[in-house]
Structures are given as C-alpha cells and as structure tokens.
Structure 1
Amino acid sequence: MGTVSLKIGDGTARFKRATLCSSALNVLMLFSVLTTNLFALYAFTSSSSSSSSNTNQSVQHHIIDHKNISFISEQVSLILKEIDLSQKKLSQMEKEVLGYENIDISKPNVANELKLFLQHHLLPLGKDSKTGITEMVASVGHSCEKSVDLLSQYMNYKIGGSCPDDWSLAQKLILRGCEPLPRRRCFAKSIPKVGLLPFPISLWKPISDKIVTWSGLGCKNFACLNSKQIGKDCVACFDLVNGTEKYRFVKAKSKNDFLIDDVLALGSGGIRIGLDIGGGSGTFAARMAEKNVTVVTPTLNVDAPFNEFIAARGIFPMFFSLDQRFPFYDNVFDLVHAVNQLGDGGRQEKMEFLMFDVDRVLRAGGLLWLDNFHCIDEEKKTTLTRLIEQFGYKKLKWVVGEKIDASGKPQVYLSAVLQKPVRVKSS
C-alpha cells in the first residue's frame, strides 16, 4: 500500500518510534503462547498414555481427563492475565522512557483544547518504513507538567473566537520552562500598525505608543520606559533620538566597546547573517542592517514590549528564551554577538550548554563577539576564560577593562572577538 515519509520543518511535532519495550513485549507474548501450547500438549499426551494402560477404568479416566482440562483452562487463564498485566507494565514503561506523557490530562479542570492538542494521531498509512514512527505526538515543554494549571488556563478559550489578552501568561509559562507552548485555535489580538515607516528610515525614528500592546506591563508608553532601567543593558534604550542608542557601536566610551566597522573588517567580507544574544531594543541589528548584514534578535517582553519595538524598526525579532535550544540548523550564522549572557552568574554547566549551542549554529570561520561581559570576581573571570579556551577559538581581539558602577566601585569587563576553527573529526 506504500509508505509515508513526513518532513516537518517548524518543530511542532514529535514522533513515536518502535522501542525496546515493544520488542520485549512481542518476545514475552510469543514465549507465553509457546509455553501454553507445550503445557497443553504434555497434559493431553499424559492423559492419553494413562488411558491406554488403564482400559478397564474408563469412568476413572473420564474424571481424570475432565480434571486435566479444568486445570489447563485455569493455567491458560492465569497466563493470559499475566500477559495482560505485563503488557500494561511495559506500556507504562514505554511512556516513561519516551517522556511525552508526563502531563496528566485526567486531572480535573484541564481544558478540553489541551486534551485534544496532546492526543496521539496515528499515521494514516501505518508505520513509516524509513523512520519507524507509528504516530504523531504534539510537542510541549516537559516542564509544563509543573504548571499544568496555568497551561490549562492558557488553553481555555473559545474556538474560532478571539484569544484572551494573555501574552503575559504565555511568557510566564515560558520563563517556567514550559517551552514550546501548544498551538491554539483562536485569533490573536490585532493592533493597527498605523505610522510604520519604510526601511531603512524606520531604524532610527521614534516608535509610536499606539502600535504596541501595553497590557500586562507597568509602563504604558515609551517615555515611561526611558525613565527607568530595564535590565542591566537597557537604560533609555527605547529613545532612538536623544538617548545613547544612536552612539552604540559607532562611538566607543571605553576600550571594551568595539566598533562595528572594526569587527566586520576581521570577518574579511564574509559576514552576511548573524544572531544577537541579549539584543535589547535591537540597536546592534539596526547597525548591522546599515551594513547589509541581517541579524536575528531573540528576546522576551520582560518589563517592556521588546518584540514589537524591534519589529517596528524593521528588524527580525524572535520570541523565545535563551534556555531553549536555538531553533536554527548547524553552522548557519557568520556572526554571533552576545551581550553579557555567558559569564554573568549561573552555574558553569549552564554556561557550557549555552556556549556549545552558540558554537553549533556558528559556521567555521565565523566570528563570536563577546561584548562587555561582566566578570563578577576573579574566579568568574577565570571560569569564563577557561570555557572560551576549551573551544579552541582564535583570539582576534581580547580586552579586559574596568568600569565604575553606580556605587563607585570598579567592575571588570571582558570583550573579545573570536574566530571559530575548522574542526576535523578524529577517526
């Protein structure tokens, strides 16, 4: 009847494969059937032999034969019960190994939409001969199980109607590790984007307050945001006219501030696409756009509408956390720019996971730009340095300097431009 091969590029489905558990189940059932048949053959053979040697005791033989049949029936019934119990245990083991059924949808108050989304869907043509998959399984973050009440609230809406104004709830789930979120069958709130300017004028013109969603945020306009410090690296970062954003990457305030032209020169003209980690309001991507370099900026809307602001500037934002594996293929970026995201706090193992993923998406010969990494103490500086050296990158620029913080104390910062080597696999 043919086979089916599915290619899903958006990462929204996972597939169940044949496992050792299912193979073990088949072996167990075969063994049980063989054992039952052999036992029955032995019982009937023994019964027949007894009948030949005792022809004068037909009545007694009839009673014995009846007892044997009853005994066999009881044994077969017990064996079938054992098979059924073993099948249930193996099925549960398989679910635990696969890990996609860790969300208990049998709990009360779980939204029906969540139950529908998490249902398994058998492939229409049966098992795929190329991949071994038998059914499609919806993809949700494993940590969603810890926030199933919030997740159910997120999935409680009118099908085909307007989605609740709950983007902040979605972000809360993401920050709790519930990522990716399930898809929904409702229409997101639509805001007229009146006043958007054409590119590249849009890069440095003020963004209207009216084209942004302010629900769930403390500030309700950009003037309010510019009067506050939104995170360590965003001080008045929404003021594109009178703030410091227009000077970033083109004027250096200290020796740790590298200029875009200098860094691009190190790439020997091979910088075309990049990834900006910790990109704030998108100024790095804007400056790169002026140099005909396309930069993707992953960000959340923590305390400010970063995604909408970046998009209004004509730059490409992506709404996901840095704890998620980058949704990009291997060796695709010419440049990765990271602002204070590898070395500022956190366990060394967490830093390593992020660094290895950065290395994965950066092509050989590409540049890793570490921009003003705050080294809290000498130990953190040493840890960060060792981590970087572990990857064998060529140091094109390496500057360690001090900046005075708000309390007047000097703080150590590291800035570097590193080039990824070509690695030859060992045999």
Structure 2
Amino acid sequence: MSKAARTGRRQSGAAMDHVEADGAAMDHAVGHGDALAQREPAPISRRRLIGTAGAAGAAGLIAGGAAGAGVAEAVGTEPTALTTVGSAYIPFEGTRQAGIVQPAQARGHLVAFDLVKGAGRKDAAALLRRWSDAVRTMTAPDRPSAPAAYDDQVAYDAGPASLTVTFGFGRSFFGRTGLDSALPKALAPLPDFAGDRLDAARSNGDLWVQIGADDALVAFHALRVLQKAARDTATARWQMSGFNRTPGTTPRPMTGRNLMGQIDGTNNPKPSDPDFEQRVFVPAHGSPGWMADGSYAVVRRIRMLLDDWDHLTVARQERVIGRRKSDGAPLSGGTEFTPVDLGKFTADGSPAIAGDAHVRVAAAASNGGAAMLRRAFSYHDGIGSDGTPDAGLLFVAWQADPLKGFVPVQRKLDGGDGLSRFLRHESSALFAVPGGAGAGEYVGQRLLEG
C-alpha cells in the first residue's frame, strides 16, 4: 500500500468505498503445505515476512519462518518492508471515534461489560482513561504494543493493521454511575419486534467495545488488553467475534458478500450523500452536549437459517432479495449501483421487484427516508443444538437517532420482508457512542467529568 493509499484509507470519504463490505463472508486463504515447510529458510524477520505476504496477496501464513520463506520464493521477489496490511493505521484521537465510517476490518470483536458491584462514576472514569490510553498506544503507527502492564506480546511483531476500538454506553450505565440526568432520550429501549427471539444474557450491557483489525492476532491482542485493564471494575457480559473479507483478496475494492452469498451493502449511505452527516452523527451542538459528534449503535446478532436458504433455487433467492446473486444488480435492470426501479414491471405484468423483496421493503423510499449506516461482521460459531450452522451477521447500525433510523426500518422489515423467514434475531442492544478524544483525553470524559 502506497503512502497515498494509506492516507486515503484514513479519510472517511474514500474509506466508505469499503464500508459496504459489512456481512462479507470470506476467510483467509490457506497457506502452503508441508513441502514448503521442509525447505531451509533464509533468515527473515516477522515484520518483513508480513509485508511479503501482503505483496503475494494469496497465500496465508503458517506459524514458523519456513512458510514465509516459501511465500517469498513463490512470488519470485525479495521480502519487502511492512508497507501493506500491517502498516495501515487509523488514529485514535479525533473529533469522532474511529470504527464508524472507516472500512469494516477483516476481524472484529464486540464485547459488552457490566460494572462490578460498588463501582461508580469515579471508577468508570478511571477505566475509560485506562482503556483510552491503551488504545492510543496500540493504534499508533510506530508503537503497536500495549502498555507494559497489560501487554502479552501476542501482537509484538505486527503493525497496527488498521486497528480501531470504539466505546459506547448502555442505558443501564447511567443509573449505575448516578448520571441519570445525562441519559439521552435517543437511548430509550428498543421496541419489541415480532421476529425477535432474544437471549437476555447476550443483550444490552453497561459498556460496549467494538474492536476491528485486519489481522486476527492484532484484534485478539486488543481484546485481551482491554479485558485485563477492566479487572476489578467491570466484567464481560457477552462477547461476539466476527470476520469480513480480508483486504487484497479481490482485484479491486468490491461490495462484500454475506454468508448467504449475496452482495450486501450496495445502498449503504456514503459521505458524499448530502444528508449523510445528519443521518449518522449527533450535531456538534446537539443534545445532550456530551454526545456532540457522537452516534448511536444498534447491535443485533442475526442468525441466518442457511440450510433453509440453500434449499431455494438461485432464482428464488434472487426474488427474495430483489437483486441478482452473481453481481448484485437489481432485478429491475442495470448494474449493481443502478438505482432500484420499484415501479418497473416484467413482460407478464408482474413487478420486477416483488412486493416482499428485501430491497423494496428496506428502501428509504419505503420508510419515509429512514436510513442508517451498516458496518457489520459475519460470524460462524459452529453447529447449533439443532444441527444447523450457528452463523449469520453481527449487525451494527449507526445513526444520529435510532427512533428515526433503525426502528422504523426494522418495523417495516418485521412485517413484510420475505427475507425474515430465513433470519432469527437472537440478541439486541443499543449504545450511545460519544465523540472522540483529543490529545490527553479519554473517551466519555465530557460525560463523566461534566
């Protein structure tokens, strides 16, 4: 990745070309086999080895230097410096928190914490400062390791790999810290939906952390650091881990596919949209003041009933979605990014886009203009107790006000979306995500010290 490309990745406008990869379901390619492992490797550092793998763009890494040497031979070049996936970084400090408009990374962890009994506002402030200081260090381009008190050397050799960590507050946090007067109206409990099958133990929480990185070890390392820094103050309530397509696995930036094989995210809002800011972020002079430049995250674990879905023909799957499976083009005609023509009919007089097709029911035009920025991860947690894949989408939707974004759209989907027969909403949460931290500040400081 060139310097210009890395700079572009940090700019939200260009970054949104990749945000639509939410729900992508591509895993890392498998590395070379035993034959390569038997070769005598030349000395090579892990930092240079990662750069080589990024340049190769195809083969994954196997533990040990031998596989890395094999990759270098396979592409016929000398190992290169760490200038690709590992070197990409996203600053922690800023007006807004990272992890909202940046491209969804290849690996992600969503974790909710509850404050321990007796912990209050002062303890929460100290925790957010520890967390913020740790993330500030881990995301720096030249200082990817964590503070010594928490570091376990898991990511010792790696660059930041586009690491972002985003913090939010659940409704219960305000009562436990004596901050009821600062509770935002937009953090009202989400309504019940007919299709919900929610597990209370995997829903809600006092604090929320979203971790993303383009390297699995970097993401895991950040998770462990935050867990250790939370000891004696907060305990994990639930954790969910997911994945997306790894950068460089397609010949050009492309909208990702979800685990149903569908291109997913074509109509996601973009920063170039004239109303993007007002849809996603709380105004700089919004209410309450501590939420200025923040956003609200709806988090849902949505299981896909893949065995049922796979029994449909491709043509039937396309009718359920309203788009071609091969290239994501709407059934009303055109290419992937051609606007959906909801008024078009086929030669036999039937609607080109079925009345219960997902693209029709979810369209902003069908929901009074309501829209949200989706930035999600796919997940696969093995085989469920029913013998079917426990897999689907870790849905994260960002908006300035959930009552104007997620709620009206989900109500419409709940009542008339043909895709809902193949989905099961198993957990739900809503978090207030404040603006970013400046130099020396911690996330949430305006709330906790206001």
The alignment's TM-score, normalised by the length of structure 2, stands at 0.25
Q: Which has the higher helix share?
A: 1
- The structure whose Rg is larger is 1
TM-score, normalising length from structure 1?
0.26
The structure showing larger relative contact order (alpha-carbon pairs under 8 Å, at least 6 residues apart) is 2
